[in-house]
Structure 1
């Protein structure tokens, strides 16, 4: 048997406790490996998805993480990426059961996004707004993400489980403030569209942004839109959600 085959057999035995232990590997030693690897993965998943975990019994949660540990082929060896791997498993491989809340995927995505925002790096081409907001090239900050959900994911906890989705789509911005705290902001559709434009077309100034929104909302009065947009951008800049594009 080749070294690669032995290595694969060893990995499969670690992931699946019911599999036979590879030849010449003591059962006690394999038990240590199994416990160590699973506990590490379970710890990272639990710390990344605390609200989701709180909706399950301890046994049901361990069963879910065990299924992920056994079935999912992780594409990254980095522990910081485990949360993303777990989300990918839920979205693409996992078949929900009666134990899973209907908002499981949206809640998991929201909690994963909080982690993404918390560790996002600021590239050299963006920085806090220092110029006049009327002429500054603007963009959506790298540590800010705009999302759309059907459930009020920010309110979900063990004693609040929405039974049905909202009547209309819900828009949120998850961002990191100046004190490195992860925050969220509920958005109306116009604000969500504004941030989406700045994310898709970084460098737009107030005039270009106002023109783009006027084309999307032709029934809105242009002067009212322009005045409201200036105030909105100032608010978003103060929160660090939008930044200035640097040369």
Structure 2
């Protein structure tokens, strides 16, 4: 057996011990390798999704991680990205069991965002924006901030609180990293969520662009009310470094 086939047999067995042992290898030796790899994957996934894990028995959680380990073709060699691969597994391949909570995917995504924002690289071209310059400089959503919406009350889910039905209104959040590199979750009202979504979609826009869009979206509100409310909102978001500007060339 050539090296490539030997290597493939080695990887196949590590992922699924029902496959044949690689030629010349003993069960005891291969089991050491498999436990090492599986425990690493289990540790990274469990650490990234502590609330979700707490809702399962140890056996049920191990079974879920084993299914991910055996069946999902991870595309990254970077351990810190394993949690993102787990999200992809839940979204595209996993068939929920009877005991899986209905909010499983939303809770997993909510927890994953914390790790994502904690580890995303800063954009060296971004700069904090002063309150008095919000109406003048181009605005953008920081790379260390993101907006997400969920149907379930994900921020309150725990062993003692597991909703079986979606909330009457969706839950919107901004997850961002502040100047001290701490990750924060900011619950958004519908208007703030819409404004941040508009800025994110535009990639870069000006205060007047946001105001024009708001005027078209909320024609029942006076221009003065919209302008004052939008400016105050953006100033608060700039303080948190959720929105920023770009370094001027």
So what's the TM-score if we normalise by structure 1? 0.96
| Counterpart in the other structure of 1:212 | 213
Q: In structure 2, how many angstroms separate the alpha carbons of the residues matched to 1:120 and 1:220?
A: 38
| Counterpart in the other structure of 2:181 | 180
Residues 122-148 of structure 1: CA deviation (Å, up to 9, x unaligned): 212211113622212111111111011
Does structure 1 conserve the Cα–Cα contact (< 8 Å) formed by 2:44 and 2:83? yes
| Counterpart in the other structure of 2:76 | 76
Q: Secondary structure at the match of 1:180?
A: coil
For residue 90 of structure 1, report the CA deviation from its aligned partner.
0.6
- Name whichever of 203-212 and 143-152 sits farther off: 203-212
Q: In structure 1, how many angstroms separate the alpha carbons of the residues matched to 2:153 and 2:143?
A: 24
- Name whichever of 179-188 and 122-131 sits farther off: 122-131
| Counterpart in the other structure of 1:17 | 17
Stretches of structure 2 that go unaligned for 5 or more consecutive residues are: none
Q: In structure 2, how many angstroms separate the alpha carbons of the residues matched to 1:220 and 1:105?
A: 37
Q: In structure 2, how many angstroms separate the alpha carbons of the residues matched to 1:180 and 1:152?
A: 26
Q: In structure 2, how many angstroms separate the alpha carbons of the residues matched to 1:193 and 1:245?
A: 22
| Counterpart in the other structure of 2:37 | 37
| Counterpart in the other structure of 2:89 | 89
| Counterpart in the other structure of 1:124 | 124
Aligned length: 247
Q: Secondary structure at the match of 2:37?
A: helix
Q: Secondary structure at the match of 1:186?
A: strand
Residues 55-107 of structure 1: CA deviation (Å, up to 9, x unaligned): 00111101100000000000011101100111100110000011110000001
| Counterpart in the other structure of 2:54 | 54
Q: Answer yes or no: is 1:228 the counterpart of 2:229.
A: yes
Q: Answer yes or no: is 1:136 the counterpart of 2:142.
A: no
Q: In structure 1, how many angstroms separate the alpha carbons of the residues matched to 2:124 and 2:31?
A: 47
Q: In structure 1, how many angstroms separate the alpha carbons of the residues matched to 2:142 and 2:38?
A: 36
Q: In structure 1, how many angstroms separate the alpha carbons of the residues matched to 2:195 and 2:246?
A: 16
| Counterpart in the other structure of 1:159 | 160
| Counterpart in the other structure of 2:98 | 98
Q: In structure 2, how many angstroms separate the alpha carbons of the residues matched to 1:3 and 1:100?
A: 41
Q: Secondary structure at the match of 1:24?
A: coil
Does structure 1 conserve the Cα–Cα contact (< 8 Å) formed by 2:6 and 2:23? no
For residue 191 of structure 1, report the CA deviation from its aligned partner.
0.6
Q: In structure 2, how many angstroms separate the alpha carbons of the residues matched to 1:204 and 1:72?
A: 40
For residue 203 of structure 1, report the CA deviation from its aligned partner.
3.1
Residues 103-125 of structure 1: CA deviation (Å, up to 9, x unaligned): 00001111111111011112122
CA RMSD of aligned residues (A): 1.3
For residue 217 of structure 1, report the CA deviation from its aligned partner.
2.0
Stretches of structure 1 that go unaligned for 5 or more consecutive residues are: none
Does structure 2 conserve the Cα–Cα contact (< 8 Å) formed by 1:202 and 1:245? no
| Counterpart in the other structure of 2:195 | 194
Q: In structure 2, how many angstroms separate the alpha carbons of the residues matched to 1:244 and 1:27?
A: 58
Q: In structure 2, how many angstroms separate the alpha carbons of the residues matched to 1:187 and 1:5?
A: 53
